[in-house]
Every structure is written in structure tokens, then in C-alpha cells.
Amino acid sequence: MYRHRPAEEPPRKGTPLAMRVTILTGIAIAVFSVIFLRLWYLEVLSGDRYEELANDNRVREVRIQAPRGEILDRDGKVLVANRTELAVQVRPADLPKRGPERRAVMAGLAEVTNRTPAELEAEIAEVRKESPASPVILDRGIGAGKVYFLRENQERFPGVTVERVFTREYRQGALAAHLFGNVGEVTAEQLDLPRYAGLEQGDTVGQSGIEYEYDRFLRGKPGANRIQVDALGRPKGQLRSEPAAAGDNMRLTIDSDLQALGEGALGSFGLPGAFVAMQVDTGEILAMGSAPEFDPSIFSRQLSQRQYRALVSEENDAPLANRAIQGLYPTGSVFKAITGIAALEEELITPDEIKVDDGEFKLDVLTFKNAGDAVFGPIAMSEAFKVSSDVYFYELGYEANVQKGRGGVIQDWGEQLGFGEPTGIDLPAESEGLMPTPAWRNRLFKQGLTDRPWTAGDNVNLAVGQGDLQANPLQMAIVYAALANGGTIVRPHLASRVETVTGEVLEEIRPSPRREVPISDQTRETIMDGLRRAAMEENGTSYGTFGNFPFPIAGKTGTAERGEGRADQAWYVAIAPADDPEIVVAVTVERGGFGADTAAPVAARILEKHFQLPPTPPVPVAERPAISE
């Protein structure tokens, strides 16, 4: 018979059923414990962090661009200001992932911005590579119709917003474009520099010119808006706002009327060139221009590679180059002032010592002649400047080919006066030029970079501003200013002071001179007399332009050869008034021929405007004698 176990009898220990129940119970307890501990970690230990992340998903901080300070001329006329525009901006993190939805968004944006989807994706990718969290501005200055379209169809454009931005406005068109420079978004490389501390990707900074040099004053301080958004990134309300602080204004030393006159006079020849008008005692730049000009507003939009190439192409005469500080030219006879200073100060000649100009200077197998084969006979230094005798200065160049400092005496004085080094002007990217020395050429010869070492002929050429010499109009203006003021090498500057938006002066800009050069009174008077005679007396090289001027001008023409197949470079440097110097004007015109024909008339127009004079009639051609340059 079978034995029946009572129903209430518990299962015996060790049976398979009991083991399964125990195991399942343990697993359940373990799983519950893990879940509990995880919830406890999330809710208690990490609650604040995840609450912050959740808030970030529904709160956006929109950086408010600060309006840049204005740029004013010396009289307070606004030259560069701001205008507000509406811009299409995207937050890459809020855009759909790759796929049909993203392609649809890009196609819609392409219609709004008049760019291809591929171009938009490339720009977004470029910004994300440098700063993944930064918004990307795809287009500026969109019209009201496009704004309404984007806002009415926001669900089709997740992550896309329309924001107000500031754009530079050039009140005088292309006037002084080479001085102002341009602005643009700060780059990833710039963000690593101390001068951009506190900025973020997307902020606007000066990238060249005055905008770059004084960016710390002009840029202002960005603000921020915290706004609540929905799941599609659409604004639902503003939570908090920190307004942006506008930048300070920069008042320049520039006289905008004189600037306009100078640019017009230079541009009338349709040739590349540059001019500088500067106060001889302080280094204040009254006007500085370069031709050809360009429209600075082109940098307010996305610049294509084709547009940029047009601005720097030599075929277009490189409009973007500021030839006043970046030109690298032989100077021709305007350099004779440096040769004269060196010769007199080193006692190679006296002011009254006579040299015979028979029209030629022979050196070994070489024969150097005056321009136009002119012959001037017995002359002293003042007369040599008046008629611009090349033979006189060829002989001085030969005699000056003696070692002093790092080169000869001309090189030594040229370097003291500022050749071969930056002027220190408050603009970036100026060229230092070249003062050729025996050591320089001999080093190149040893390196196989030139065909011969230094010879006396190089010094003969240097004495009249030819050969390897490279200088720009600002450097020439500084040299002649030193001649006018008695030996002070001024530090040229464009900025006068920093002002608040209400005109309160925050900082005066008065840079100290770079150094003093010991030019004796006798040397100065001798050369100034020769330059005055060159402009004001019959047979003077610029008498045709300045012979009828109402007060004495001291000026020097220059015509420099620029190599085989290239037209001559025209120069003129003027000091006015000659008896009480106030202003120096340096002008150069590429392919301009004789300095008396192109550069001198530009200088005359600038001086007339500065001194508020009526146009000065030139001396009739029939009354002008043949001259040399």
C-alpha cells in the first residue's frame, strides 16, 4: 500500500523544488538591490547633476554680441559705425542626425541662404571642428520675408534661429579702407592667446588694421540671454538677461577731408601708389592712402576664394596691400637727403666744397650718367640738391664706401634714420624694407643666392636710391620729418585717444619718439636750403609744380628704375613750410615716370588742402628748363 503524506507537511529539505525557490528568491533580492542602489545613486548622489542636465535640455544661453566702438576722424566725424542685421544661426547639436530629415533641413536652409546644402554642411563641420558647442551663422542681412518664413515653419528647422547681429558700416565708403582693416569671428588659434581671454567661439574681433590694433578697446563685452525652449529648440520664454557692454570709440589723427583729397589726387592717375601726410614733430598721421582702393564692406559677407584672390592678385595690382607701409621700392633721388646727411656729418665733404659735374662718373668699366644726359658743371651741395645732380652724389657714394658699423657710412646713417626696420606705427603687418650693406650681400653670395659680392658700384647706386634698397613712403616721411625737426625719429601713429560713447576721454595716445639722431644745424640748413631751391627756384626739379606756391616748400623729386621691363617709380617728398616745418608729405606712384610729373602734383594738392589754399597754377611748360632727376 502507498503511504500518503499529510497535505500540511512541508517539503523536505534538499529537494529540487526547494533549491529552485531559494535560487529565484536570491536572484530577485539581488536584482531588487541593484535597482534600488542605482535609483539611490541617481536620485540622491547624482540628483543635482542630472537636474542640471535636464535643465540644459530646456534652457539655452544665447550669447549677445557687443556692438563695437565707432572709429572717428580727428574732428569727431564717424568713419566706421555699426548697423544691425538679422542672421540665420544654427546650433549643430540641435540639428537632426544624418538622414532624410537632416537633408530636408539643409535643403530648406539652402533656399533661404542662396547656398548649396554641401556648402552649409561644410561650414557647420568647420565650426564644429574648432568649437563643437558654438552656434554657426550661415547668412547675414536676410530680409523680412525670410525671417517670417523661418519663424512660421520652425518645426521644419530644428536648431535654426534668427538672431540680431552687428555689422560694420563704413560711412565714407572706401575712404581709408587700408587703415581700418576688418573684423571677423575669433579663431580657435586666437582663443589660445592671452589677448583674447574670456572670449568664445563666435565672438567678433578685429582681424587687421586699426580694428586689430585697438581691438581691446573697440570690441566691448558680450552679454547673454537665458531662454526656455521646447524639444525642437523653439523659444518659449526668457529667463534672465545680461546686457552686452558696447565697445569704446577710437578717435584717429586722420583728417578725413584731407584723406579724401589725397586719395582722389593719387587715384586720378589710375596707377598703383601711396601717400603719407604727417606732422613733423609728433608723428600724427593726417592722411595715409594706397591705390588701388577696395570696398571694405566686402568683408561683412562671406568672402569667396575668387573674391579674395582678386584682392591680392598682382594682375589687379593687389588692392588689399597698403603700399604706404608695405611697399618695397627703390626710392630714387629722394634718398639723396640721407647721402647728404652722411657725407656732411662724416666730413666727406663740406657744404661749400665744389665738385665738377661733367655728366658722367666712371668706375672701372662702368659709366654712370645724369638723367637725360644733363651736365651741370661746378656745383656745391645746395645746388646739387636743386638740380638733382646724380654725378655729384655718385662721387659721394664712392667716397662713402668705407666701413662703419655694419656697413658703410651711408648705411650707418640710413639705419639711424629708420631704414631697414619697422616704423612702429599702430598698424599690423608693416614691412621693414631693406638697407643693403656689404655684410648682407657678401652673406648672400656665400650662400649662392646672388651672383657677386659687394662692390663700390653698389654704394654708388645706393647713394641715389637705386640698387637693392627697399623702402616705403612712411619711412621716407619719417626721414624727412627728422630733417625738418632737427633729428627726432618720431613714432608715427593713427590713434589719438580712446573715448566712451558719450565722448569722455579714457586714454590719450601720445607715443614717445623712437630716438634722437645727432644732425648738426649746419647739415640740416644745407640740405633744407637745397630742397627749398629745388621747389621754389628756376631750374629746380619741382619748380614747375611749386614755383607759384604762396610760401616756400622744401621738396625732392625721385625717379627710380625698377628693373628691366618695368616702368619707373615716381617719388616726391615735401616739407612745408620750408622756413617753419609743420607737415611732411611723401608720395610714390608705380609706373609713374618722372616724380615731377605725377608724384609732385599729388603732394601739391595735399598741401593746398591742408593749408586751405586755392589751387596753385603750375609754372607754364615753356618757362621750365630741362631738369634731371
Return the axis-axis angle of helices 456-463 and 409-416, rounded to nearest 10°.
40
pLDDT tens figures, 488-528: 999 999 999 999 999 999 999 999 999 999 999 999 999 99
CA 287 vs CA 181, 310, 606: distances in Å: 16, 26, 9
The amino acid that residue 465 corresponds to is G
pLDDT tens figures, 206-230: 999 999 999 999 999 988 767 666 6
How many Å apart are CA 549 and CA 617, to the nearest integer?
A: 8
pLDDT tens figures, 103-143: 888 888 888 888 888 888 888 887 777 666 677 888 887 88
Indicate the average pLDDT of the chain: 88
pLDDT tens figures, 422-469: 999 999 999 999 999 999 999 999 999 999 999 999 999 999 999 999
The pLDDT value recorded for residue 521 is: 97
How many Å apart are CA 418 and CA 256, to the nearest integer?
A: 28
- Terminal Cα-to-Cα distance of the chain (whole angstroms): 145
Rounded percentage of the chain residues whose pLDDT exceeds 90? 60
Domains of the chain: 65-221 (3.90.1310.10), 256-289+328-623 (3.40.710.10)
Q: Which residue has the cell 567661439?
A: 201
Highest mean pLDDT range out of 26-40, 174-188, 226-240? 174-188
How many Å apart are CA 218 and CA 68, to the nearest integer?
A: 5
Q: Which residue has the cell 628693373?
A: 563
The pLDDT value recorded for residue 232 is: 53
Give the least confident one: 148-152, 275-279, 434-438, 469-473: 148-152
